[in-house]
């Protein structure tokens, strides 16, 4: 069985381009949507993403919508706790492939990390 995990120095989830996420208002509250949009910087990348280290500068204090947690996924997307693992893997794969490509080092590292 595959188990979701964050792959360090990937950062695909830090590509926040709203054009790629037209349904943001369906799962973010108005204050969260405002915060999300305020975090979008040049090229759609989060202003808190350090392009040199490829890490989040506010990881321990990141917003709720940046967290892969059962409660967050259930509240935001209606995903039941037992489905979070597979849902998170699918979301990450789609995001990594969209940002870096389906043959990128990032997707290879992610697939290896989660056991695919």
pLDDT, tens digit (0-9, with 9 covering 90-100), for 9-48: 999 999 999 999 999 999 999 999 999 999 999 999 999 9
* Residues above pLDDT 70, as percent of the chain: 100
Q: Please give the model's pTM, rounded to 2 decimal places.
A: 0.91
| Residue 78 pLDDT | 94
Angle between helices 84-100 and 70-77 (to 10 degrees): 80
Given a cut of 90, whether residue 1 has pLDDT beyond it is no
Between CA 52 and CA 78 the distance in angstroms is 35
Q: How confident is the model at residue 72 (pLDDT cuts 50, 70, 90)?
A: very high
Between CA 31 and CA 59 the distance in angstroms is 20
């Amino acid at each position: 069985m595959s188990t979701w995990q964050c792959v360090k120095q990937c950062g695909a989830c830090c590509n926040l381009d709203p054009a790629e996420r037209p349904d943001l208002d369906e799962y973010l509250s108005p204050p969260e949507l405002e915060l999300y949009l305020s975090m979008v910087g040049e090229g759609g990348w989060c202003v808190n993403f350090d392009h040199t280290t490829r890490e989040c500068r506010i990881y321990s204090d990141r917003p709720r919508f940046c967290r892969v947690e059962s409660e967050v996924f259930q509240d935001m997307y209606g995903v039941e706790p037992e489905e979070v693992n597979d849902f998170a893997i699918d979301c990450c794969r789609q995001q990594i492939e969209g940002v870096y490509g389906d043959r990128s080092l990032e997707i290879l590292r992610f697939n290896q990390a989660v056991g695919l």
